């Protein structure tokens, strides 16, 4: 017999909402781990499947494309199936992708399983923010987001480190199996802690299939068009033009369709609109650099996969403590200040990486990584809360989904652009110089996001 919400609250009391947060936190950690841990294995995957840089980047970009699209369905899924069934289905899909991906016999099979993992991760990503904003009082939201963030940032911190050792000891296949114990644990917790009568469940309108199709065409064509810039403008334009037209059609359809995937009225809130812009630019810089860093360590500086992974571990520990402190500050300090400060530190860290040489010491790389992760710690808890405070309860699920969608869309485009610029510069100069110029591009993106973050202040209510 599955427990109801009333039974669970009677059994666990005030602890129940924290246990639910822990459950969704571990599930999200598993999805983030599956996203970032593969980056350290890109050189090995390239050798095993004889991939060029262009095709290798789709191991990350394909995951992020699928994740970006499936995020748009999270509010509908929660209304239609409730939190328990939505979360269970997504974790089972992530588990399937990890198990089958580890046994891939060719590149298409590998890429297909990365897409399956991405679809699951996209549904999982917005849910913790929805839980925090709906289950916790405003005075507890910053603390809850900080604790959630502490757990979530451990995944990208530990992922490359663990992944580097696994690649060296057991080969690239082993990194796909890392999500299995996380998924099994979450399935056990879901069974005990999530109610069958979810308060998020309600009367779901039909899924906006037209909007989802237009979004899929637009994003896929845009990303493929960017990749084909290497083949010439004609080949790229054949994909970029339909991508742009499909994107414009998607926006027009959402404006005309009140039951669409996106509630466009949210963008009439200046604070939310600026937060969405920050999320897009920040995602491009963050995910582009996450893809770039371990590849740079191995290709330009000739470190082993384990050394490339370990460089992010101390930074991840510092990030964990930073994000808890920043989460508490979000309850007292205007979010735009924390976001702006964090973006400035991120931009500085990428700029310092751009000036690195083969003589740059390992400790210096550790220090630069720590600086960037401190900046990340200030941005993460403040961005979602700052963008969505003031929204009605009925808009929280949509708002969280859109903020995560914009961040992941920026990330997918960022990974593609970074891969394109890197390959272009590698053909023109030395690896160190090529990576330096690409890091400078990422630094410029983060600096640009500060302008949008600063404008959030005009409508800040905190």
DSSP states along 182-223: HHHHHHHHHHHHS-SS-TT---PPPP-HHHHHHHHHHHHHHH
Helices (H), 228-334: 233-256, 270-299, 305-310, 313-330
132 plus 237 within the same structural domain: no
C-alpha dihedral over 173, 174, 179, 185, to 10 degrees? 140
Residue 189 has pLDDT above 80, yes or no: yes
Are 221 and 186 part of one and the same domain? no
Task: Kindly state whether residues 339 and 430 are assigned to the same domain.
Answer: yes
114-118, 226-230, 262-266: the lowest-pLDDT one = 226-230
Which is more confident, 289 or 434? 434
Residue 91: its pLDDT value, please?
Answer: 95
Q: Binning pLDDT at 50, 70 and 90, where does residue 253 land? A: very high
Statement to judge: residues 147 and 250 lie in one domain: no
Do 290 and 229 fall into the same domain? Answer: no
338 and 437 in one domain? Answer: yes
pLDDT at 458: 53
Question: What is d(CA 17, CA 136) in angstroms, rounded to the nearest whole number?
Answer: 8
Mean pLDDT of the chain: 81
Q: Do 265 and 255 share a structural domain?
A: no
Tokens of 433: 């110089």
Please say which residue of 225, 242, 260 terminates a domain: 260
Of 106-115, 325-334, 427-436, which has the strongest mean pLDDT? 106-115
CB of 14 closer than 8 Å to CB of 135: no
Output the CA–CA distances (angstroms, integers) from residue 456 to 101, 137, 399, 403, 449, in the order listed.
42, 22, 16, 14, 11
What is d(CA 30, CA 187) in angstroms, rounded to the nearest whole number?
12
Do 317 and 252 sit in the same domain of this protein?
Answer: no
More confident residue, 294 or 179: 179
Could you tell me if 246 and 273 lie in one domain?
no
pLDDT of residue 160: 67
What is the domain-level CATH number for residue 340? Answer: 1.20.1250.20
pLDDT (mean) for 369-397: 80
Segment (H or E) for 444 = helix 431-455
Report whether pLDDT(157) > 70.
no
Q: Mean pLDDT lowest for which of 4-8, 12-16, 21-25, 216-220?
A: 4-8
**Residue 410 clears pLDDT 90, i.e. is over it:** no
Percent of the chain having pLDDT more than 90? Answer: 14
Domain count, the chain: 2
Q: Which domain holds residue 249?
A: 209-260
- Shared domain for 342 and 245, answered yes or no, is no
Give the whole-angstrom CA distance, residue 172 versus residue 169: 9
Distance of CA 189 to the CA centre of its chain: 23
Question: 323 and 374 share a domain?
Answer: yes
Do 349 and 253 sit in the same domain of this protein? no
> Is the pLDDT confidence value at 199 over 70?
no
Instruction: Output the pLDDT for position 461.
Output: 45
- Helix 107-124 to helix 58-71 angle (10° resolution) is 30
């Amino acid at each position: 017999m599955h427990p109801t919400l009333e039974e669970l609250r009677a059994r666990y009391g005030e602890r129940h909402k924290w246990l639910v947060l822990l459950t969704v936190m571990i599930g999200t950690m598993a999805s983030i781990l599956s996203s970032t841990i593969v980056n350290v294995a890109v050189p090995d995957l390239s050798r095993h499947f004889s991939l060029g840089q262009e095709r290798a980047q789709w191991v990350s970009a394909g995951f992020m494309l699928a994740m970006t699209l499936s995020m748009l369905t999270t509010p509908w899924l929660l209304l239609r199936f409730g939190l328990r069934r939505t979360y269970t289905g997504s974790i089972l899909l992530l588990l399937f992708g990890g198990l089958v991906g580890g046994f891939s016999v060719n590149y298409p099979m590998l890429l297909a399983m990365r897409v399956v993992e991405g679809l699951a991760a996209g549904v999982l990503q917005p849910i913790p923010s929805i839980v925090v904003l709906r289950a916790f009082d405003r005075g507890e939201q910053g603390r809850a987001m900080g604790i959630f963030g502490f757990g979530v940032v451990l995944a990208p911190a530990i992922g490359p480190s663990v992944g580097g050792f696994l690649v060296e000891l057991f080969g690239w296949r082993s990194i796909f199996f890392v999500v299995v114990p996380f998924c099994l644990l979450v399935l056990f917790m879901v069974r005990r802690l999530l109610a069958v009568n979810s308060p998020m469940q309600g009367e779901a309108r039909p899924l906006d299939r037209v909007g989802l199709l237009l979004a899929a065409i637009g994003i896929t064509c845009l990303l493929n068009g960017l990749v084909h810039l290497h083949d010439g403008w004609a080949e790229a334009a054949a994909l970029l033009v339909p991508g742009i037209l499909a994107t414009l059609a998607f926006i027009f359809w959402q404006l005309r369709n009140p039951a669409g995937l996106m509630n466009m009225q949210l963008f009439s809130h200046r604070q939310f609109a600026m937060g969405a812009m920050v999320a897009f630019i920040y995602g491009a810089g963050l995910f582009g650099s996450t893809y770039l860093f371990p590849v740079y360590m191995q290709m330009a500086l000739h470190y082993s996969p384990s050394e490339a992974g370990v460089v992010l571990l101390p930074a991840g520990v510092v990030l964990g403590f930073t994000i808890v402190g920043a989460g508490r500050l979000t309850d007292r300090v205007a979010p735009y200040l924390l976001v702006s400060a964090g973006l400035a530190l991120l931009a500085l860290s990428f700029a310092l990486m751009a000036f690195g040489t083969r003589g740059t010491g390992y400790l210096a790389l550790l220090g630069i990584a720590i600086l960037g992760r401190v900046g990340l710690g200030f941005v993460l808890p403040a961005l979602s809360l700052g963008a969505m405070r003031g929204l009605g309860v009925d808009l929280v699920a949509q708002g969280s989904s859109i903020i995560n969608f914009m961040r992941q869309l920026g990330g997918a485009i960022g990974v593609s652009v970074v891969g394109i610029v890197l390959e272009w510069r590698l053909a023109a100069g030395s690896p160190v110089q090529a990576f330096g110029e690409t890091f400078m591009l990422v630094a410029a993106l983060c600096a640009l996001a500060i302008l949008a973050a600063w404008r959030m202040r005009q409508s800040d209510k905190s």
